[in-house]
Amino acid sequence: MAATDFKDYYALLGVAKTASVDDIKKAFRKLARQYHPDVNPGDKAAEARFKEINEAYEVLSDTDNRQKYDQFGQYWQQADRAGAPRGGRSPSTNTSPGFDEFEFGRYGSFDEFVNDLLGRAGTGYGRTADPFSGYRTSPSGSGFGDDRATAGVNLDVEAPISLTFSEAFNGAQKRLGIGGETFDVNIPAGAKTGTRIRMRGKGRFSPHYTSQRGDLYLIVELTAHPFFQLDGDNNLVCEVSIAPDESVLGTQIDVPTPDGMVKVNVPAGVRSGQSLRLRGKGWKNLKGERTDLMIKLTIVPPKELSEIERESYEKIRDNRSSDPRSHLAGIKL
């Protein structure tokens, strides 16, 4: 620290130079609660004050650093680099009541103390659990740019969200419980399996500055629908059965679509497995545009025949003019 940057740590904590370790601890705890960025989101002045309070406590809670600070004032760090006396402390014995002992015998780190101070969920004393330990880190995340805290640390996280076809097609609002938090999320109309929904500021907390958080990416998973499916081109696909006479003579059938039932003309002579296309009746994209509905036709013969049906089919068989297997006669290895 340059001489011109000297800070009166006692004044920052509001204690006298004769203050005991307990007095310093109590003052810090009170001010940390007041100025912590999580309590004052977006308040740059409060964040700056919180960092100064941190710095002051880090020095004054350490026996050796406090002794050098009291002796050398603004030059205490230079004195340390120059080999100033260590106040008689054995190099191998740590008697400092610094962060690890700020009632800290029961905390594993300063952040665990902050979590307790602000009432955030954890595992109690010792190691605080990562609320996103069961979720994937988002490969697209880049973390934050704070060179002291999160540089190179990816705070973004992914979590699955299961949607019905109706919720995904029409859009919906869902209330989710993820990472120990409950929040509402708006599902855009046209989401599909693999769609990523970004929840800004709902990811992991920074390991150093808990006012900083990554983003949560919800990865959509569609539950199976009994009638509709999505194909690789994002067209909506369904399968409809027709009778043999309908395939031969052609017909008009009613087919469900996302917009309700529509009448579809089936041309004469269709084959089983042939598809009909209904343009603009398929899935939505996130811009509100529609893909097509593909209707796959399946010819289903009746399992039971009435007497007149049997007679009719026998008559057709006996009088059929075409052989659908005539092309097989010349096939051989």
Segment 221-238, tens digit of pLDDT = 999 999 999 998 899 999
pTM of the model: 0.56
**Are 292 and 279 within 8 A, CB to CB?**
yes
Share the mean pLDDT of the chain.
79
Share of the chain above pLDDT 90, in %: 40
- Tally the C-alpha atoms within 13 A of residue 174's C-alpha that lie toward its C-beta: 21
CATH class of the domain at 3-97 = mainly alpha
Indicate the CATH number of 136-222 among 3.40.50.970, 3.40.1710.10, 3.30.300.90, 2.60.260.20.
Answer: 2.60.260.20
Using H for helix, E for strand and C for coil, what is the string for the chain? CCHHHCCCHHHHHCCCCCCCHHHHHHHHHHHHHHHCCCCCCCCHHHHHHHHHHHHHHHHHCCHHHHHHHHHHHHHHHHHHHCCCCCCCCCCCCCCCCCHHHCCHHHECCHHHHHHHHCCCCCCCCECCCCCCCCCEECCCCCCCCCCCCCCCCCCCEEEEEEECHHHHHHCEEEEEEECCEEEEEEECCCCCCCCEEEECCCCCECCCCCCCECCEEEEEEECCCCCCEECCCCCEEEEEEECHHHHHHCEEEEEEECCEEEEEEECCCCCCCCEEEECCCCCECCCCCECCEEEEEEECCCCCCCHHHHHHHHHHHHHCCCCCCHHHCCCCC
The whole-angstrom separation of Cα 211 and Cα 248 is 70
pLDDT score of 283 more than 50: yes
CA distances from 227 to 169, 223, 257, 264 (A): 14, 12, 10, 17
What pLDDT was estimated at residue 83? 46
Q: How large is the average pLDDT for residues 308-329?
A: 92
Confidence of residue 22 (pLDDT cuts 50, 70, 90): confident
What pLDDT was estimated at residue 209? 53
Span 49-75, pLDDT tens digits: 888 888 888 888 888 888 888 877 766
Span 107-133, pLDDT tens digits: 454 555 555 555 444 444 333 456 666
Residue 66: how many other CB atoms lie within 10 Å: 20
Fold equal for 136-222 and 229-304: yes
Kindly list the domain boundaries of the chain, sorted by start residue: 3-97, 136-222, 229-304
The whole-angstrom separation of Cα 62 and Cα 77 is 13
What pLDDT was estimated at residue 50? 86
Confidence of residue 329 (pLDDT cuts 50, 70, 90): confident
| Both structure tokens of 219 | 């990865």
The whole-angstrom separation of Cα 265 and Cα 252 is 4
pLDDT score of 2 more than 90: no
What pLDDT was estimated at residue 75? 63
Share of the chain above pLDDT 70, in %: 74
What architecture (CATH level 2) is domain 229-304?
A: Sandwich (2.60)
The whole-angstrom separation of Cα 242 and Cα 270 is 10
The whole-angstrom separation of Cα 60 and Cα 26 is 13
The burial of 83, by beta-carbon neighbours within 10 Å (0-12 exposed, 13-18 middle, 19 or more buried), is given as exposed
